[in-house]
Amino acid sequence: MEQNSLVAMFFRTGERHPEATAFAAKVDGKYQPISYADAAERVRRIAAALVKLGVQPGDRVALMSENRPEWALTDLGTLAAGAVLVPLYATLPSAQAEYILRDCGARVLCVGGKDRLKMARELRERIPTLEHLVAFDGETLPGEYCLETLAALGVDAEATAEAERRTAALTRETLATIVYTSGTTGEPKGAMLTHGNILANLEGADRVLHISERDVFLSFLPLSHIFERMAGYYLALRNGAAIYYAESIFSVARNLEEVRPTLMMSVPRLFENMQQRILETAAKAPPLQRRLFDWALSVAMARCRTRLEGGFVSPALTAQYRLADRLVLRRIRARAGGRIRYFVAGGAPLPKETAEFFLALGLTVLQGYGLTETSPVIAVNVPSDARPEGVGPSLYNVEVRVADDGEICARGPSIMKGYWGKPEETAAAIDPDGWFHTGDVGYLDDAGRLHITDRKKSILVLSTGKKVAPQPIEVRLKTSPYIAEAVLLGDQRSTVGALIVPRFDSLRARDGLARLTNAELAAHPEVRRLLRTEIDRLTEGAADYERIKRFAVLERDFTIELGELTPSLKPRRAVIMEHFAPQVMSVFGE
């Protein structure tokens, strides 16, 4: 049955599965569930309370919090009141939050966390349109509301009736949310997504992922990112599944074992780190255990690659795999809870080697692709044919074509309405025929699977006229146990260079390096020799003009706080090159 709004979808699920767990979060060390029926009642009260505050249909309500049930309840309550939810990353510095709040004209700001409450109070003093402040934590001041007191306003017959009328009036064309792109260049733009945009994406994704009320999600990616919001939250609610919130990004490993999820959305960095930890643990094991692990992994990889190539898995290899699984592989899977159907990776490219590693272990990682402006999924690998390369075929309701210059274009009901207050940027992004120009370069293979090469603006044009796509090389370099980040340089230069952030802990595990500081490691001749060997090894087979001739080793990682990474952990090249200008100059001998 087709739904007209995200709120109607949620309420319908609540009617079908009233006693099932909708959300669960840790309280005093134990996960406390909230049923669909209880959640629906809270959503209705929040919607009525917003009506009581004077929030009108189409007004913007901003939300800045870590993942928690209150995030979802506030989101759904805002939508039920006919208002528009504007999510802000919990890690945003004040200046960036202020830009978004001013740009969208938010009337209400809901915040989680005492530190963010302090910042919110300062922002409220400076932003005239920001009338109301709702706090999930901490003591409120006069004129502010905690979520409980806000919900208490919703016990009002007139406001409740008005909220119900607004909910019933929602259509697929109603604006649901303005999601600001994290922006690797320039100021963030607010992508306007309607209820219909997101519902269409849910319908397309559900045909691939086949979610049911038996599924359990573990949520840790920021809900302010449309990938987690659609695939890790709305998709669960559409099907009556349960959402458990990780305590933090640092507790994911422990929460996986506690929650035993069947699905989890993530970014490639998590899988790269998991792979590294597994390999490091095996390397530190006693010799017999280490040899057993190496044998089991080699058997699993041989079986995996044979199957991917469409070859025949011999009875001997099958028998070896069963033994390897019983002795080693299933124990590794148990660390992920033991019942994962699959992970879904998005937000950045997943290295082929990492995808193969998890497939070999029996943990399927489905790589997908999309953008904020496309609600977000354009394409995703199919569980029955998970591939370590490419991002799979497009969803059934999304058209994809590749322009003459290699740019990927998408068209369909999940394409945004436009950029908030930016008609010229909207016209530049969506052509008269309805094609959204993604800014990404790629190709479709013979089987119709999409492959991403790089961002169009990231292509390095050497002074020789040769063009280098940095992303595939950077992704490959980060498969090294000694390289955490890599940023290629070379635009308008004669050769390619790189900035390298090493994995400092891995370096300190080597003889003679344990007590060195980051700065000492970055300058150490042995470290430079090791990184040079790794760079050459991982770029073997590249064209000569693509090879990294010189590189600089950095003393620290890139951070969100300094603006070097977007909240979704993508590097901002311009900022990085500015912050590390001396190192960039040293690469090219300036």
If phi > 0 it is left, if psi is from -120 to 50 it is alpha, else beta; for residue 327 that is: alpha
- Amino acid 186: pLDDT: 62
Report the sign of the C-alpha dihedral through residues 209, 211, 217, 222, in that order: positive
Alpha helices in 136-286 (DSSP H): 147-153, 157-169, 195-209, 226-229, 235-239, 252-259, 268-283
Same fold, 6-170 and 268-338+340-455: yes
Superfamily of domain 268-338+340-455: ANL, N-terminal domain (3.40.50.12780)
Residue 184 scores a pLDDT above 80: no
Query: What is the number of other CB atoms lying within 10 angstroms of the CB of residue 506?
Result: 17
**Around 90, how many Cα atoms within 13 Å sit in the side-chain half-sphere?**
17
Say if residue 111's pLDDT is above 80.
yes
Tell me the CATH architecture of domain 6-170: 3-Layer(aba) Sandwich (3.40)
Mean pLDDT of 164-178: 98
- Computed over its alpha carbons, how large is the radius of gyration of the chain? 25
Task: Determine if residue 135 is left, alpha or beta; phi over 0 gives left, psi from -120 to 50 gives alpha, anything else beta.
Answer: beta
pLDDT band at 147 (very low <50, low <70, confident <90, very high): confident
Domain ranges of the chain: 6-170, 268-338+340-455, 459-587
Residues 17 and 186 sit within 8 Å (Cβ to Cβ): no
Of 307-311, 318-322, 373-377, least confident by mean pLDDT is 307-311
Residue with tokens 């079908």: 16
- 3-class SS shares of the chain: helix, strand, coil, % to 5: 45, 20, 35
Is the pLDDT confidence value at 56 over 70? yes
Write down the pLDDT at residue 455. Answer: 84
pTM, two decimal places: 0.89
DSSP secondary-structure letter at 581? H
pLDDT digit string, tens, across residues 463-513: 888 889 898 999 999 999 999 999 999 888 889 999 999 999 999 998 889
Q: Which residue has the tokens 């007004």?
A: 59
What dotted CATH number matches 459-587? 3.30.300.30
Please determine, for residue 154, whether its predicted confidence score (pLDDT) is greater than 80: no
Q: At residue 139, what is the residue type?
A: E
pLDDT computed for residue 573 by the predictor: 87
Please state, as a whole number, how many other Cβ atoms lie within 10 Å of the Cβ of residue 385.
11
